[in-house]
Amino acid sequence: MIAISEFNTAINKARPLLKSLQSLYQRLPETRCQCEQTGVCCAFLPEMTWMEALQWSGAIRQMSANARIGILQKFLKFYLTNPIRHSGCPFLENGACYIYELRPFACRAYGLWSPEFGKVRTQNSRQDRKALLQMWHKFGLELPPETVEFEIDYCDKVSCATGKSMSDRQLMDLLQQIYGLDQALPELQTKFEAEYHSDFSFLTASLALGYRKAVLGKFAVIKEIVMQGTEERLEQILDKVSLEVLESP
C-alpha cells in the first residue's frame, strides 16, 4: 500500500514534471463532440498514469476546504458503490468537466482512436465487467447483471477541430511518452498499478480509510445495498471523512 507520507513526497517530486505532462497533452488535436448526451462518456473513471493521479491530487489540494471535503466524499462514494451505482466521474458537474484542463490522456484521446480499435476497447471492457460479476459471485453476492454489465459503445461523434487527426500508432506512442514520466517514481508507479489497478478512487479511499478498511468497506457497502436495499454503512463511512488525506504536506 501507499502511505500518506509516501504520497505527500510523491506529489512534491511530481510538480516539476507536470509541465512536461501538459506539453505532451498539447500534441493531441483539439476535438469537438456532436454527442447529444453531454457527459455520458464520463460514467466511469478512466485509467490513468501515476503522474496523472498525482496531478489530480495536487489540483484537489488547491481547492477550498469545503470543496475538498465534498470531492473526497464523491470519490469515496464512487469507489464504494461501483459497480452497482453509476454516479459518474466525481469531477462531472452539470454535464461538464470541473477540471477540464487537467483531464488525463484517456479522456483526451477518447473518440480519437480508430473505430476498429475503439470496438476492441469496448469489448475488452465488457469482458472485464463479466469477470467482475463472477468475482462477486465467488464472494457470495449476486449483483444485478444490468448494473455490472452496463457499458457505453465507443464514441463515434468526436471529430478534430482542425481536420488533422492522429493514427492509433501515433496515439499509442504519445501514451508511452506520458507513461514514461512515471519512471521518476518507479516504486509507487508499480504500487498504483498492481495494488490499486490504476484506479484513482481506490487510491483516494485507501488513503482516507486505510487499504484494508477500504477493501472491506466496499464489500460491506455493496452487500448491504444488494441484500437490504439500504445505504447506512455508506453514510457512516462518508460522515467520518477527514480532510487529512487532502491537506497540503
pLDDT at 243: 59
pLDDT of 249: 47
Residue 145 in this model has a pLDDT that exceeds 90 = no
pLDDT at 245 over 70: no
Question: How much is the pTM?
Answer: 0.88
Give the mean model confidence (pLDDT) for residues 78-94.
Answer: 88
User: What confidence score (pLDDT) does residue 140 get?
Assistant: 82
Q: Is the peptide bond before 104 cis (omega within 30 degrees of 0)?
A: no
3-state secondary structure 29-74: CCEEECCCCCCHHHCCCCCCCHHHHHHHHHHHHCCCHHHHHHHHHH
- Given this model, what pLDDT does residue 177 score? 97
Most confident segment among 70-74, 122-126, 150-154:
70-74
Classify each residue of 60-69 as buried b or exposed e, where b means 16 or more C-beta atoms within 10 Å of its C-beta.
bbebeeeebb
Instruction: Specify whether the CB–CB gap between 129 and 135 falls below 8 A.
Output: no
**pLDDT tier, 150 (very low <50, low <70, confident <90, very high otherwise):** low
Question: Phi and psi at residue 199, in whole multiples of 5°?
Answer: -105, 110
Mean pLDDT of the chain: 87
pLDDT, mean of residues 68-75? 92
pLDDT of residue 147: 67
Per-residue pLDDT band at 246 (split at 50, 70, 90): low
